[in-house]
Structure 1
Amino acid sequence: MNFSFVSGDATRASGELLVIPLFEGELGDTAPSSLAAADTALEGRLRGAATQEGFKAKGEQSFLMHTHGRATAERVLLLGLGNRARFTPEVLRLAAGRAVKAALRLKAGTVAFVLPATDAADATVRAVVEGLMLGAYRFDKYKSSARDEKNPARVGKVALVLPEGLEKSRELDDALNLGRRVAEATNWARDLVNEPPNAVTPTVLAEAARAAAKEGGLQVTIGGLREIQRLDMGMFLGVTAGSAEEPRLIHLVYTPKNARDAKRPPLALVGKAITFDSGGLSLKPTEGMVEMKTDMAGSAAVLGAMKVIAALKPPFPVHAFIGACENMPSGTAYKPGDILTSRLGKTVEITNTDAEGRLVLGDMLTWACEHKPSAIIDLATLTGACMIALGNYIVGAFGEHEGTVNEVLQAARTAGEEMWRMPVSELQKDALRSEVADMKNSGERWGGAINASLFLKEFVGETPWVHLDIAGPSNSPKERGYLSKGGTGVGVRTLVEWVRLRAANPDAYEAAPAPTLKGAATKAAGKSARKSARG
């Protein structure tokens, strides 16, 4: 999708479809110049027809009208943005997604999109670019009808019409390019999530990580079963034991070229990568297993974000840690009642083999903390309990370090990804108490998302840490705005914004906290840097 900025009369902008976003009340005498020009070109019929059809520019409303040759565009699409006082860029991002889907249905290959006048023009540009590119996404590679289609509908060119008084600038160009990179990376992550589990195995996911690293100039290390054994990741080994697919240990590193920046404490991103989750011997019901190809959405988001981070070149290192495997039932699978020993040295009694993601993440978090990051985020499709609490579109954010949690929530707001802070309460800790080991991997049903976060907390020590449970938002149940049914790529935008936020003031995070490893910590604390690097 190619973008360009244009100024002047919107009705003369090149495009088969002219899109005009409007706030409530702008159909009247206070109409923006773009609407007034379109209404004049259509001899005053546009506003009248829209009013007759009940269009009031409320959120998610739209009105489409043919121009009958009275304007450059064949059709005009009015988009409702709702109340201006409650406007956020996400409102525009969703509206742009609806607009591009309308263009695809109309087979309009070129679009002129009028940018609404807002307080932050760069955020407006980025929201429109992301909304259009994300909204145009579709995953149909396995449909024969799509393969046989000779001229599939696509939007190739978009003219972004600047509002009156706004000139093209370097800042707007930068916002456009950032929006394009983020949308491309998010759609790439969506592809990984939407692929069937026989197409994206741990090996294939590792090769996707290798390709992303090569494209962005990142260092990449990929290990297999032997490397996981050398790192004493007993929980990871337990989860993968039942699968015929060999696991993969993935480590991507962005390092600044500047020597001083390269020595700063890194940021660490950890993504859950269960490429298929049957539940293991605690087998899921059939209907609960169908979408379990998406149980690696956390890793897809981390890899997608690393593609953008490589281009942003922040003034500090960024590491990505991913443990990829399947959770399958077989004669070699780990069992309820087993006791696994983590890399940290803590022992874990298995009470439910379907609580596997936290086991792999625990070993990965321990490994990540050994690299002494200034902060760490993990993303995981971890619990159905979080979906029960927050639904399909809101991410649950867990963490005790106020500054880091607030940074992540701020980054999410800027990115337009909805998050809600959840408690990490010691009141729930008894749910994980074991009579025969240091802890259980699964407790009672009540407070399940909190229980999972408490389990993960045991493996991060004092390192500032945020856990994002993306079980609901990782997979959209229906088409909505720029979302299509299926994988969403949630988390890519927030991770990018978090890195950008920290890059704006890197000296504020100069001192990396020494990881305090609780419990039987001496085992992992004694690991040499040489042994860690082998993973």
Structure 2
Amino acid sequence: MLDGSDLMKIRLLRDRPTQILSPWVILPVFENSPNPPAGAGDTGLATLVGRLRDRKELTGSLGELTAIHEPAGFAAASALLVGLGPLEKWDAGAAFTAGFAASKRLAGQPRDEVALILPAVATDFPDERISALIEGITAGTRGPGLRKSEPGRYAFGTLNVVPEEGEVAGRLEALESQIRRGEIVGQAVNLARDLVNTPPADKRPEALAARIREVAQEAEVSAEVWDLARIRSERFGGLLGVAAGSSHAPAVVILEYRGAGEGPHIALVGKGVTFDSGGLSLKPSASMEDMKCDMTGAAVVAASVRAAALLKLPVNVTAYMALCENMTGGEAMKLGDVLTMRNGKTVEVLNTDAEGRLILADVLSYASERSPSRIIDLATLTGACMVALGLKVAGLLGNDDRLRDEILAACSATGERAWQLPLDEDVREALKSNVADLKNVGGKWGGAITAAKFLEQFVGDIPWAHLDIAGPAWSDSDSVTRDAGGTGCFVQTLVKFLEGSGS
């Protein structure tokens, strides 16, 4: 899982694209553009591409791939044309998609060296499209087959990044910065994907906590792991209730990165259910098949903090992750049980498959007590959010308009998708219990909103936002531009948010 052998070397070259000696060169192409592929100039390859366009055999649509061997005018043995989509719509999201498609196509076998030509439109004013392109290429070399007897995907030995225009002296530092950013963020996306794709038997709470601590400490992020005794002493009644049905003890992981001295800090909170059977409110078998992904929130939070540290962002971040299994053992919580949360509120359990909000309630309470400037939690929380928004859009809710706007701006900048849902006060009526302060489920309607309203009871007056990532966290299908399995969603957004936020 992302050991040294999985990391490719990335370097910026200033040679002419046509003179790059490489087995493969990746040439970006814009959709329906009269211009030749990046770096092709007036070569024979450019003439060939023009003919292919005329015959409608090549369009440059986003993620379209066309391999050409012995490209006329190039020293490279083969060229892979990758579509960027329309120039006017080419943003960071499109750049990531194109990079992912190209590297996925080439990473099916070991390659010592691959070259990427950067289009001049991005290098004239180096921006995050370059970073996103590198992120996509990095992510595309990593597949979900962590337990295959033979690897299905190989990281390139070296990725040579070559500007379309050879003279970049005035832009060299900015280009190198964006390439380095893309490398770090791409590795963070892969870390989150790897953690999600790991089989549940290999990431019991204790094992996952140890892995998160290891990767954090590699980036000089301080890491603290709580065992069962500490969790009990901290009165995490929700986490203890959910974990009671498993023979494996829960864990809490706290990461601290201080890039802004002694100033205030942002709190990131992640749900970490390493396998969710539904508890006694048992899920159907088909609904359990992807439940190793129910710890995506924790994986994304851990990977994002690691990236922030490696990027040396001037921000203070504390991450809190509650890890457990939701199982059906003899001590499992029952419908009608009442749990006492960290902040003293009591909760009547009427559905053991609404467990994520129970463990988040404790962690949100604890995080709030430490007075962060803002709190963001991420969780694969509700199927209702998937019903409302589909499989590629996260639900965004919270108690602070400015924070929500900042998160939406970060989403827009990265190409990741979230949609704001209302959090009206009348929703709280559905959470009233006859025997406790709250119940853990509401009525039939608005389940994603009800769940967020439940969480709101545990953050006090601190600006807080909740991302329900149940849809985009996992992909059931494989395609040219996407892998089946964990997606690593919202690592890019969190890093972008932290870059622009300070504390």
TM-score (norm 1): 0.87
Counterpart selection for 2:251 from 230, 245, 248: 248
For residues 32-431 of structure 1, the aligned pairs below 5 Å read 34-37=39-42, 40-42=43-45, 44-67=47-70, 71-105=74-108, 109-118=112-121, 120-146=125-151, 153-164=154-165, 166-167=168-169, 168-256=171-259, 261-431=260-430
Partner of 2:439: 440
Contact 1:118 1:124 in 2 (8 A): no
Structure 1, 46-55 or 183-192: larger mean CA deviation: 46-55
Does structure 1 residue 25 correspond to structure 2 residue 32? yes
Distance 1:108 1:233, change over 3 A: closer
| Structure of larger gyration radius | 1
Identity fraction in percent:
39
Q: Which amino acid letter does the alignment assign opposite residue 35 of structure 1?
A: A
Q: CA deviation at 1:364?
A: 0.3
Give the structure 2 partner of residue 486 of structure 1: 485
**1:12 alignment partner in structure 2:** 19
| SS in structure 2 of the partner of residue 114 of structure 1 | strand
> Is this contact kept in 2: 1:298–1:381, CA < 8 A?
yes
AA in 2 matched with 1:102: R
Deviation (angstroms), 1:428: 2.3
Residue of structure 2 equivalent to 1:462: 461
Specify whether residues 353 and 169 from structure 1 end up closer, same or farther in structure 2 by C-alpha distance, changes over 3 A only: same
2:349/2:440 contact within 8 Å kept: yes
CA drift at 1:424: 1.2
After the TM superposition, which of the residue ranges 262-271 and 446-455 deviates more from structure 2?
262-271
Aligned in 2, Cα 1:216/1:82: closer, same or farther, shift over 3 Å?
Answer: closer
Separation in 1, partners of 2:304, 2:9: 22
Structure 1 stretch displaced more, 225-234 or 312-321? 312-321
Structure 1 CA distance, aligned partners of 2:330 and 2:60? Answer: 60
Distance (whole Å) between structure 1 residues aligned to residue 283 and residue 85 of structure 2: 43
Alpha carbons 2:91, 2:129 under 8 Å: kept: no
Q: Is the alpha carbon distance of 1:324 and 1:107 closer, same or farther for their aligned partners in structure 2, counting shifts above 3 Å?
A: closer
User: Contact between 2:279 and 2:352, CA under 8 Å: does it hold in 1?
Assistant: yes
Aligned residues of 1:223 and 1:248 also touching (Cα < 8 A): yes
Per the TM alignment, residue 454 of structure 1 is displaced from its structure 2 partner at its CA by 0.3
Gaps of 5+ in 2: 1-7
Greater shift, 247-256 or 268-277, is seen at 247-256
The answer to which of 46-55 and 120-129 deviates more is 46-55
Which amino acid letter does the alignment assign opposite residue 177 of structure 2? D
Distance 1:154 1:461, change over 3 A: closer
Deviation by residue 1:337-378 (Cα, 9 ceiling, x = unmatched): 111111111111111000000000001000000110000110
Question: Secondary structure of the equivalent of 1:35?
Answer: coil
CA distance in 1, matches of 2:37, 2:181: 28
In the alignment, structure 1 segments of 5+ residues that lack a partner are 507-535
Q: CA deviation at 1:5?
A: 2.3
Q: Is the 8 A contact 1:14 1:110 kept in 2?
A: no
Residue 143 of structure 1: how far off its partner (Å): 1.8
Distance in 2 of aligned mates of 1:433 and 1:56: 57
Distance 1:50 1:15, change over 3 A: farther
- For 1:9 and 1:106, the matched residues in 2 are separated by 27
**In the TM superposition, what whole-angstrom CA distance separates every residue of 1:173-226 from its partner, at most 9, and x where no partner exists?**
111111111111221121111011110000011101221232122222211221
Contact kept in structure 1, 2:144 and 2:484, CA below 8 Å: no
Paired residue secondary structure (1:44): helix
How many angstroms apart in 2 are the aligned matches of 1:460 and 1:480? 40
- The one-character-per-residue Cα deviations of 1:294-332 (angstroms, maximum 9, x if unpaired) are 111100111111111222334443111111111111221
Report if the CA contact (8 A) 1:94-1:482 is conserved.
yes
Secondary structure of 1:362's counterpart equals helix
Count of residues in correspondence between the two structures: 492
Pick closer, same or farther for the CA change 1:209–1:106 going to 2, 3 Å.
closer
Do the aligned partners of 2:38 and 2:117 also contact (CA within 8 Å) in 1? no
Query: What is the distance in 2 between the residues matched to 1:49 and 1:123?
Result: 31
Between the aligned partners of 1:368 and 1:87, the Cα distance in structure 2 is 39
Offset at residue 101 of structure 1 (A) = 1.7
Q: Answer yes or no: is the 8 Å Cα contact 1:390–1:396 preserved in 2.
A: yes
Quick one: distance in 1 between partners of 2:334 and 2:368? 28
Q: CA deviation at 1:412?
A: 2.0
Give the TM-score, by structure 2 length.
Answer: 0.92
Q: Is the 8 A contact 2:410 2:493 kept in 1?
A: yes
Name the SS for the 1:446 alignment partner. Answer: coil
**Counterpart-to-counterpart distance in 2, 1:141 and 1:436:** 47
**Structure 1's 381 and 347: CA in aligned 2 closer, same or farther, altered over 3 A?**
same
Residue by residue, what CA displacement relative to the aligned partner does 1:264-298 show, whole Å, maximum 9, x if unpaired? 11110100011111100000110011111111110
Measured after TM superposition, the shift of residue 463 of structure 1 is 0.5
Residue 394 to residue 480, structure 1, CA distance change in 2 (3 Å): farther
The one-letter code matched in structure 2 to 1:5 is: L
Render the CA deviation track for 1:70-114: whole Å, top value 9, x for unaligned: 532222222222222222121111011111122234765432222
Q: Secondary structure at the match of 1:283?
A: coil
Q: 1:493, 1:58 → 2: CA distance? A: 23
Q: Distance in 2 between matches of 1:449 and 1:31?
A: 48
Provide the C-alpha distance between the structure 1 equivalents of 2:366 and 2:47, rounded to a whole number of angstroms: 66
Check 1:92–1:133 CA distance in 2 against 1; reply closer, same or farther (3 A cut).
Answer: same
Cα pair 1:275 1:324 within 8 Å, conserved: yes
Cα distance change on mapping 1:391 and 1:243 into 2, 3 Å: same
Specify whether residues 185 and 443 from structure 1 end up closer, same or farther in structure 2 by C-alpha distance, changes over 3 A only. same
